[in-house]
Amino acid sequence: MSLEGWTPQIGPYLTLEEVIEHAFDYRGNITVVRTDGTDIVGYLFNRNASAPESFVEIFDEAGEGPIRIRCADIATITFTGKDTAAGNAWTAWLERKDKDRAENAAASGA
Amino acid sequence: MSVPLSQVVTVASYIIRQKLARRQRYPLVLMLEPLFRCNLACAGCGKIQYPAQILRKHLTVEQCVKAVEECGAPIVSIPGGEPLMHPEMDKIVAALVATRKYVYLCTNALLLKEKLSLFTPSRYLTFSVHMDGLREEHDDAVCREGVYDRAVEAIREALARGFRVTTNTTLFDGASALRMREFFDEMMSLGVEGMMLSPGYSYSKAPDQEHFLRRTKTQALFTRMLAHPKRRWKFNQSPLFLRFLMGKHDFECTPWGNPTYNMFGWQRPCYLLQDGYAATFRELMDTTEWQRYGRRSGNEKCQDCMVHCGFEATAVDHTFGSLKGLVETVAVTLTGRL
């Protein structure tokens, strides 16, 4: 199931750390909302929870980066961009192939 | 085995130096991913699913050269994405060849014929062409018809111009051992220097999640496929790795053997898994929790993996790490029996 469009509610049942892990695993752009109310859109490619000051790293929408953001400065992350790993490229290909084969078989039988 | 003697000597002396220095962990092949952009969208590939701004980016020549120097591995494999879509791939290759690194440029060959004139034949440069089987199987695997024929045409042209050419083949569930044996005949008839084989890895981001080989199926397939190998078949990889795929060895993964560098940095822990990135090669080696990976770690993601980037380095280390391994490698090489 894709997380595309997800706006997680950080609270007792969902920690920021868990949301960061989901964002790290997500193959689309996300929006990092900072505690000061500002936000930044980009692709989150790295996170390090064991660093002295835990952080995430992103390339912004223009591809600039890496931009490092301290986890302490993050209020939440929303999954605003298209999930590029979602979809059915493989099944679509198989369906197209099956259709072609059926059409070819029908044509040769006609 | 088809690896040229000069390359064998380079790799052997490098490993012996590591052994003499008592280095427990050392890289063998740098996986240099200069871009993620590709002109195909293969069903089993989990490497290219990124937002547009990431797909537009690529490493510079300087970044590539610095990564190679930092790593120190004698062999550099350049996968991707499709490396020939990089606007300065010729310059990257020339810079690496000048440092006497053995470069394997992994390509689907769609652009190879038109870009060949940008490269100069060298014993340090090999075009490793992605071929997942005979025409029908390959075009199915790459989800586009006509790719096999274009790749064959490009291989012929590259060979005619004096380049080293190998093939690299990823195998999935449902592969026919008989058809693969026909494929090996076909590739050797084309005149490639050697072939590289590996089972596919079940990337969580790949579109096709149903056709990855599990461990026992991998061993059964490779046993059927490589039983009584023909003398004319040449494999550009460790014979002990092939024996491992046939279930004749129980190697553990060497994730640091093929470290990966791309626009995100040094990838933890290996070419297939993405558990984060280190800023430097030293940081990768020193701070990655290696004990969390490999089959014996219990890590679920590693249980069915038998991919070359984790186990070929183990096989090579086994060859040079013990008399038994060396004798076995020599025996297999001389007799041709896997």
Domain residue ranges of chain A, discontinuous segments joined by +: 16-83
Which band of pLDDT confidence, cut at 50, 70 and 90, is reported for residue B222? very high
Residue B210 has pLDDT above 70, yes or no: no
Decide which of B320 and A31 is more confident: A31
If you measure CA to CA, which chain A residue comes closest to B40? A89
- Region of B180 on the Ramachandran plot (φ > 0 left; ψ -120 to 50 alpha; else beta): alpha
Interface test with B, best of A3, A22, A93 (most B CBs within 10 A): A93
Q: Give just the sign of the alpha carbon dihedral B97, B93, B138, A86.
A: positive
**Residue of B49, B57, B207 lying closest to A90 (CB–CB):** B207
CB pairs under 8 A between A and B: 59
Over the stretch B227-264, which tens digit does the pLDDT of each residue have? Answer: 999 999 999 999 999 999 999 999 999 999 999 999 99
**Residue of B46, B54, B276 lying closest to A59 (CB–CB):** B54
Task: Quote ipTM for the complex.
Answer: 0.88
What are the backbone angles phi and psi of residue A46, rounded to the nearest 5°? -150, 150
Over the stretch A4-18, which tens digit does the pLDDT of each residue have? Answer: 999 999 999 999 999
| First and final C-alpha spacing in chain B | 11
3-state secondary structure chain B: CCCCHHHHHHHHHHHHHHHHCCCCCCCCEEEECCCCCCCCCCCCCCCCCCCHHHHHCCCCHHHHHHHHHHHCCCEEEECCCCHHHCCCHHHHHHHHHHCCCEEEEEECCCCHHHHHHHCCCCCCEEEEEECCCCHHHHHHHCCCCCHHHHHHHHHHHHHHCCCEEEEEEEECCCCCHHHHHHHHHHHHHHCCCEEEEEECCCCCCCCCCCCCCCHHHHHHHHHHHHCCCCCCCCECCCHHHHHHHCCCCCCCCCHHHCCEEECCEEEEECCCCEEEEECCHHHHHHHCCHHHCCHHHCCHHHCCCCCHHHHHHHHHHHHHHCHHHHHHHHHHHHHCCC
Over the stretch B282-291, which tens digit does the pLDDT of each residue have? Answer: 999 999 999 9
Domains of chain B: 5-335 (3.20.20.70)
| Domain A16-83: which CATH number of 1.10.10.60, 3.40.50.300, 3.90.79.10, 2.30.30.100 | 2.30.30.100
Check if the beta carbon of residue A73 is closer than 8 Å to that of residue A32.
no
Residue B208 has pLDDT above 80, yes or no: no
Q: What is the pLDDT of residue A110?
A: 57
Interface test with B, best of A60, A84, A96, A100 (most B CBs within 10 A): A84
